[in-house]
Amino acid sequence: MRLINYIKESYKELVQKVAWPSMKSLQSSTIVVMVASIIIALGIEVIDLAFENLMKAIYSLLY
């Protein structure tokens, strides 16, 4: 009985109490997330390449 009540209350909350964003808001948020992800990925790539070159330079001095 508690499970059925929980499901009913959850459905009621999702339908009546949650403020769902508009489609335009979702699209703009998605674009922001995609751009931020690309910028972070490029930043990590730059750091990775710099570290790779640094390690190659260190190894070339040692061997």
pLDDT above 70 as % of the chain: 100
Q: CA geometry: angle at 40 spanning 37 and 30, to 5°?
A: 15
Token pair 């751009």 in the structure block, residue? 35
Mean pLDDT across 56-63? 93
pLDDT of 42 over the 90 cut? yes
Instruction: Give this prediction's pTM.
Output: 0.67
What was the pLDDT predicted at 59?
95
List, for residues 19-34, the tens digit of each pLDDT value.
999 999 999 999 999 9
CB neighbours of 21 closer than 8 A, spacing ≥ 6? Answer: 29
Pairwise CA distance, residues 27 & 39, whole Å: 18
